Structure 1
Amino acid sequence: MPSPIPVTRLLPRDIYPSLDIGACSSPLSRHSHGSTLQVPVQRLHGKVATRLWSSVILWKELRSAQPVGSGGFGSVYKADYLGETVALKKVKKCTKNKLASRQSFWAELNAAHLRHRNVVRIIAATTCVPADFGDEGSIGTILMEFVGSSNLQQIIYGRAELLGGDRWLRYSTDIAQGLRFLHSHSIAHLDIKPANVLVSADDVCKIADFGCSLKLDGGGEVSAVSPLLSHVGGTYTHRAPELLKGEGVSAKADIFSFAITFWQLITREQPYAGDRQHVLYAVVAHNLRPSVRDHPVFRSQQGRLCSALVSRCWSGGPQDRPSAQELLAELEQLRAPDMS
């Protein structure tokens, strides 16, 4: 089924001009004389083809799928593909909001053509699934690099080990580097939170789950919110006030979400307590934010600088927040030896 979102918001310019969306699939496939547009498949051992990703999955090469997690719009499996371990995500149909689940699938592909150390890499994606692999409740399938089974949510709240300043600053820097890269390509993630930051075996953070993302117009400037994009905005505890108010979207919304995540890394506490609607109202109307006054970590020289930075990042107005580039520069200063 064709995407309800304009193709030009989802795919790189070298793909979408020639698309003739067919009934089989999506902006990923074109029917010409009964065939499907073949984007050359890339081998994973550095043998990259002309395209950075593929709109075709070689299903016979996919095996040993084991479930590793699930979320609001899909389930993730660990599998073997072309001799490498990959993550397979099935985006499921949401019976209550079918439009939102379709949007989630197409939004996942906003970063499909991008490669960065701190962004989970997409290998292939398609809506054409053979019967023996089929799932009537699935809209499409996405193959991604397998980072591991650990995320920041688990590290922050599920482990007794200490999370020293050097480590949470390194994690935060990883996230900021990923955001700088995404924003430089006019992509707003719009759901930055600990659960959407995977941590590799090498202890490197990678931004994952682009189901709420948007390709912004005007080089990352504010983009008006379409009625079709009503689901966009991410998790309410991390959502920027302008999104809660239904205003335009910009990359600065990610900076707000980063600030809440940064605070969680430092304090290892939940950002808010109480009723969801009360929190939403208070964030917008009363500038409610997590406390930076009651934690010993904010009393050191480094802690005071962190407090000042996080306060800027979760400012009520997007114009008052730093860019990802400015944020990264300040985090690098915080990591300097004389700040420890």
Structure 2
Amino acid sequence: MKLTGQMDLAREATFLKALVHPNIVSLHSNGKVPGSQDFFVVLEKFEYDLSDCIKRWSKGKLMNTRRDRNLYRLTVTMSRSQANKQYKANRAVERYQVLADVASALQFLHESNIVHRDIKSTNIGITHDGVAKIFDFGLAKELKEKYRVAGTEDYKISIAGTRRYLAPEVFAGKPYNQRADVYSFATLMWEVLMLEAPYSSMKPEEHEKFVYTKGKRLAMKRSWPKNIKNVIKMGWNADPKRRPNIAPIRGTLITQSSLAQMELLG
């Protein structure tokens, strides 16, 4: 286990040296001998991870205490209903912007022929000014031609990831590509909007039967925007060829973030 952790750390450092993007964690420093007992990495500091923010949103708060204080000063003279409307609108802006940030990072990774393989809320860091950044590249994989299944867009690589976010083709041990991340991201979108962990009430065997045997998915609220529900549904398609790539999903999130900001200003 210790050796595996050291190799994961070395793999992460290798990726982060080559990946410079505003929504990917920055590598500040690292040890000299990758995989050695003394190897280390120094990453930029995060205030929260996304799972922490989800807990705050579920309690009616904003992403951090500074934003809460600033908004409180603006709403202290408002009626309760007006103040609640402002908080709701601000939370919507934050949630769609965070998801758009993650989608931006994924688009960059996928265009670089890299699949992250472990997209989930605890692997998304949030900076003090509310920028979301993907971290933990221990399972990330460059999709090299030697892994490609001849005549397809898929690659024969190992099963990796967190079960509740895992695409059906990955769970089944089939060849896969970047659209496995799209499935995981659709689950992350559901989590951010529902404000609860996916499949939290199910035991592993129940989740396996529900998702991978019966082909069912989590329920979405009627109040969610139609375009958002559509991209989640498409991202969850059991056939990866019928899933969109991450770029149009990012576009939908940017549009929805803009609409939420307009509501905030209006």
TM-score, normalised to structure 2's length? 0.76
Residue identity in the other structure for 2:226: R
User: What is residue 55 of structure 2 aligned with on the other side?
Assistant: 157
**Superimposed CA distance per residue, residues 31-90 of structure 1 (whole angstroms, 9 cap, x where no aligned partner):** xxxxxxxxxxxxxxxxxxxxxxxxxxxxxxxxxxxxxxxxxxxxxxxxxxxxxxxxxxxx
User: What is residue 31 of structure 2 aligned with on the other side?
Assistant: 126
Task: Judge conservation of contact 1:216–1:222 (CA < 8 Å) in 2.
Answer: no
Looking at structure 2, the residues matched to 119 and 297 of structure 1 have their Cα atoms a distance apart, in angstroms, of 31
The runs of 5 or more residues in structure 2 that have no matched partner are 63-90
1:297 pairs with 2:223: yes
1:101 pairs with 2:25: no
User: What is residue 327 of structure 1 aligned with on the other side?
Assistant: 249
Work out which structure has the larger RCO, using CA pairs closer than 8 Å and 6 or more positions apart in sequence.
2
Task: Judge conservation of contact 1:152–1:197 (CA < 8 Å) in 2.
Answer: yes
Looking at structure 1, the residues matched to 179 and 197 of structure 2 have their Cα atoms a distance apart, in angstroms, of 22
User: What is residue 142 of structure 1 aligned with on the other side?
Assistant: 41
Structure 2 residue corresponding to 1:113, chosen from 18, 42, 60: 18
Aligned CA distance change for structure 1 residues 115 and 165 (closer, same or farther; 3 Å): same
Looking at structure 2, the residues matched to 333 and 128 of structure 1 have their Cα atoms a distance apart, in angstroms, of 45
**Superimposed CA distance per residue, residues 241-298 of structure 1 (whole angstroms, 9 cap, x where no aligned partner):** 1110111231111111111111111110221122112212332111132111xx3532
SS in 1 for 2:184: helix
Looking at structure 2, the residues matched to 287 and 223 of structure 1 have their Cα atoms a distance apart, in angstroms, of 23
The runs of 5 or more residues in structure 1 that have no matched partner are 1-93, 130-135
1:233 pairs with 2:186: no
Structure 1 residue corresponding to 2:130, chosen from 189, 203, 219: 203
More helix by share: 2
Looking at structure 2, the residues matched to 188 and 267 of structure 1 have their Cα atoms a distance apart, in angstroms, of 26
Aligned CA distance change for structure 1 residues 215 and 198 (closer, same or farther; 3 Å): same
Residue identity in the other structure for 2:9: F
Task: Judge conservation of contact 2:23–2:102 (CA < 8 Å) in 1.
Answer: yes
1:222 pairs with 2:154: yes
User: What is residue 72 of structure 2 aligned with on the other side?
Assistant: none
The Cα shift of 1:143 comes to 1.9
Larger Rg: 1
Task: Judge conservation of contact 1:279–1:288 (CA < 8 Å) in 2.
Answer: no
Structure 2 residue corresponding to 1:247, chosen from 164, 170, 174: 174
Task: Judge conservation of contact 1:189–1:213 (CA < 8 Å) in 2.
Answer: yes
More strand by share: 1
User: Residues 82-101 of structure 1 correspond to what in structure 2 (within 5 A)?
Assistant: 94=1, 98=3, 100-101=4-5
Looking at structure 1, the residues matched to 258 and 60 of structure 2 have their Cα atoms a distance apart, in angstroms, of 24
Task: Judge conservation of contact 2:166–2:180 (CA < 8 Å) in 1.
Answer: yes
TM-score, normalised to structure 1's length? 0.60
**Superimposed CA distance per residue, residues 206-244 of structure 1 (whole angstroms, 9 cap, x where no aligned partner):** 00101111111259942212xxx4xx5211111111110
Task: Judge conservation of contact 1:198–1:207 (CA < 8 Å) in 2.
Answer: yes
SS in 1 for 2:41: strand
User: What is residue 61 of structure 1 aligned with on the other side?
Assistant: none
Task: Judge conservation of contact 2:124–2:132 (CA < 8 Å) in 1.
Answer: yes
Structure 2 residue corresponding to 1:271, chosen from 198, 201, 204: 198
The Cα shift of 1:162 comes to 4.2
Task: Judge conservation of contact 1:174–1:205 (CA < 8 Å) in 2.
Answer: yes
Looking at structure 2, the residues matched to 140 and 286 of structure 1 have their Cα atoms a distance apart, in angstroms, of 45
Residue identity in the other structure for 2:43: M
SS in 1 for 2:223: helix
* Percentage identity across paired residues of the two chains: 24
SS in 2 for 1:224: coil
1:256 pairs with 2:211: no
Task: Judge conservation of contact 2:49–2:123 (CA < 8 Å) in 1.
Answer: yes
Aligned Cα root-mean-square deviation (Å): 2.5
Provide the aligned length of Structure 1 versus Structure 2. Answer: 225
The Cα shift of 1:107 comes to 3.1
SS in 1 for 2:51: helix
Task: Judge conservation of contact 2:215–2:238 (CA < 8 Å) in 1.
Answer: yes
